[in-house]
């Protein structure tokens, strides 16, 4: 038999990515086909809805419920708005009415206080001739006009901008502010130097006046004063000015000016006018009868606490 020639087979070389068959399969065949097949099978069997569709239905139900709540809230607010507005207007009317009534009462109190003070001044002036006039002068019942001195005391420059409080509230680190004790010494020094009447910023001082501090403010008989503090004193102008500057209180004021920058100036005045005290406290004395008949006396002292 004749021999057939051998068959030669050509073997193709292996693909370079033959070892990545799994990855090639994933890339060549999308998973969407599997998902589509599973969904179709579940619908044919009447199974539960897919998870994304069920979530969308719950979201839609939540939105409908939220819209319902907002609608009901808006309707309720629209219904109650007139009631709330009416109650607010009634409250405002009550506040305004009570404020007006309080203002009227305050004016009545001030008017009655003025009438009482006027009657007290007349009573002091009518008693005892010259002695009654002296008592009225010393008690601050009448205004005073005459020669005197003008003393101006002010904080140091820049102390207002620094915003510091009184010196006693922060030790002695803030010494540029005039404090209540400074004004007490100034006033008492004027009394001791021969002043017959004293006023600070138009506020008449009496033997019962008090100079105190409230925060950064200086109070005279519970009325706040603001710097500069203008002190007017009735007396022999030049003599009173010299006596005060030579006194211990005058030297104290000079030390404040030299060491802490407190500003002050004093000058004799040909005429100063001091108003009467806004309120008076009248005290009476009765003679003692035990062991004999005595005679009541009135004492008037000077000094400011």
Give every CB contact of residue 48 below 8 A, 6+ residues apart in sequence. Answer: 42, 54
Q: By CB neighbour count within 10 A (0-12 exposed, 13-18 middle, 19+ buried), where does 93 fall?
A: exposed
Q: Convert the pLDDT of each residue in 57-82 to its tens digit.
A: 778 888 888 888 888 777 777 776 67
The larger pLDDT score, comparing residue 275 to residue 299, is at 275
Tell me the mean pLDDT in the region 1-13. 55
The larger pLDDT score, comparing residue 174 to residue 53, is at 53
Give every CB contact of residue 243 below 8 A, 6+ residues apart in sequence. Answer: 193, 194
Cα–Cα dist 154/228, whole Å: 5
User: Tell me, what's the pLDDT at 300?
Assistant: 40
Tell me the mean pLDDT in the region 178-182. 91
Give the distance from CA 227 to its chain's centroid: 19
DSSP state letter for 223: E
Segment among 111-125, 174-188, 252-266 with least mean pLDDT: 111-125
User: Tell me, what's the pLDDT at 105?
Assistant: 92
With cut-offs at 50, 70 and 90, classify the pLDDT of residue 132: low
Tell me the mean pLDDT in the region 144-149. 90
The larger pLDDT score, comparing residue 283 to residue 166, is at 283
The yes-or-no verdict on residue 161 having pLDDT over 60 is no
The yes-or-no verdict on residue 131 having pLDDT over 90 is no
With cut-offs at 50, 70 and 90, classify the pLDDT of residue 294: very low
User: Tell me, what's the pLDDT at 98?
Assistant: 92
Tell me the mean pLDDT in the region 156-179. 58
User: Tell me, what's the pLDDT at 226?
Assistant: 87
Q: Convert the pLDDT of each residue in 191-239 to its tens digit.
A: 999 998 999 998 888 878 889 988 778 998 888 888 899 999 999 889 9
The larger pLDDT score, comparing residue 18 to residue 266, is at 266
User: Tell me, what's the pLDDT at 207?
Assistant: 79
**CA proximity to 269, closest of 168, 152, 169:** 152
Tell me the mean pLDDT in the region 121-136. 64
């Amino acid at each position: 038999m004749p021999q057939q020639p051998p068959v030669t087979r050509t073997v193709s070389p292996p693909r370079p990515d033959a070892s990545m068959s799994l990855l090639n399969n994933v890339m060549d065949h999308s998973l969407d086909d599997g998902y589509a097949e599973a969904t179709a099978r579940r619908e044919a069997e009447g199974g539960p809805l897919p998870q994304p569709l069920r979530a969308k239905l719950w979201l839609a139900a939540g939105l409908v419920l939220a819209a319902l709540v907002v609608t009901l809230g808006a309707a309720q607010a629209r219904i109650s708005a007139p009631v709330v507005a009416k109650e607010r207007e009634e409250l405002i009317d009550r506040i305004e009415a009570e404020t007006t009534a309080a203002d009227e009462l305050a004016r009545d109190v001030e008017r009655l206080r003025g009438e009482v003070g006027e009657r007290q001044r007349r009573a002091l002036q009518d008693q005892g001739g010259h002695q009654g006039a002296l008592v009225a002068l010393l008690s601050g019942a009448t205004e005073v006009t005459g020669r005197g001195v003008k003393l101006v005391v002010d904080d140091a420059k820049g102390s207002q901008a620094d915003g510091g409080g009184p010196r006693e509230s922060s030790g002695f680190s803030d010494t540029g502010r005039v404090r209540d004790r400074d004004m007490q010494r100034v006033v008492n020094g004027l009394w001791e130097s021969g002043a017959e009447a004293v006023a600070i910023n138009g506020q008449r001082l009496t033997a019962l006046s008090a100079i105190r501090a409230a925060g950064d403010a200086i109070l005279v008989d519970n009325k706040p004063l603001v710097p500069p503090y203008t002190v007017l004193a009735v007396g022999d102008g030049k003599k009173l000015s010299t006596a005060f500057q030579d006194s211990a209180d005058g030297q104290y004021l000079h030390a404040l000016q030299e060491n802490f920058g407190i500003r002050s100036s004093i000058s004799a005045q040909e005429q100063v006018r001091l108003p009467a005290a806004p309120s008076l406290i009248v005290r009476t004395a009765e003679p003692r009868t035990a062991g004999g008949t005595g005679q009541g006396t009135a004492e008037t002292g000077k000094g400011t606490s």
